[in-house]
Structure 1
Amino acid sequence: MSRAYRLSPAGRRDNLVLIAVAMMLWLFAIWSLANTLQVRLHPAGIWADVQRLFAQPPAIEQAVPALILLVVIVATPLVIWNVIAEWDATFVPTTDGLCYTTMGIRLCCQWNDIVNIQPTPVSAEEDVVLWLRYDPASTITHPLRRWLHRQYHGPNRLVIGVGIERRAELVALIEQALAATRSSFATTAA
């Protein structure tokens, strides 16, 4: 039961394209923001242009596009992090539970800590969400990694992406382990 499940080659290609497109979008947003606010990106002139912006704020026709571009500039690295985290994700079912590893983060949850699997029935076109009794991100000591993990998965959840190779096999193993855990729990409770 200790087989590792990772992103498929097709999923890796898709993620590589997503990373490239996101990086181009990010660079375009930086360039567009500089043009919108008439700021030079050269290190020698940027400080004077930023001081000019604070002395004379931009007009509304500059401010609105600038704010939208600023949101794109801030959000794009988060998207890139999520895509890289999915690229590096490894799921390993063990006899005790499911271990998830990505980007230096290792989370192991016991079978009895998995409350539910959604969607039911599992669709090949949707991410599989494992709902947990606790927030696995609370075990991550580094605050930025903890925040980024929660931003990608959400609280009390672990997401198994569509591109994971042999995902149906992994989900079937998880469902079997959950059924066995619940039946043994019901037997010991009775």
Structure 2
Amino acid sequence: MVKVVCLLAALLALFLVVLADPEEYDTEHTWVAGFLSLPFPKNAVLGGVSTLGYYVYVGRVKYEGVFPVQVIAETGEITWSNGTYAYVGTKNYELLVTSSNSSFEWITSHDGKYERGLVAVGTSISDERVFVCRAITSLGQLPGTLILSLKVCRVSGSTVKYDKYEVLVAR
């Protein structure tokens, strides 16, 4: 009887831990697995261009929240930052792709303004929606992270916080 009670308590604790983790992926748009050994999708959403001449695509990764990543198809390299932790490498990620019933465009925005159709990658660890933005940096025009309450676009690889930027919207 004691073993059954202990097992039930352990299962309950595990269930509560899962529920306490607020970060989750957004499922409104189509995301596909990305990795250097996988074929790069032709319908990946373009996020910008680096000063090295690479096209940079929109991706996402989950690490203490869900955050946008910059993906370079030729190298399989991703770059992202959640404000505390930054990463450059080739870990698994997901790519945003267009489908027969979706299209995307970049529109000018500023100061955390909510735009109709904003593309979310998921939620932060504090359960705020995380959106895709982009700004012109010294490394190129690159996608970054927009959390509306912070009112700035943060682009990995840059320490500047951009209050004027573009946001990705679905049409």
Give the TM-score taking structure 1 as reference length. Answer: 0.29
Bigger strand share:
2
TM-score by length of 2: 0.31
Q: Which has the larger radius of gyration?
A: 1
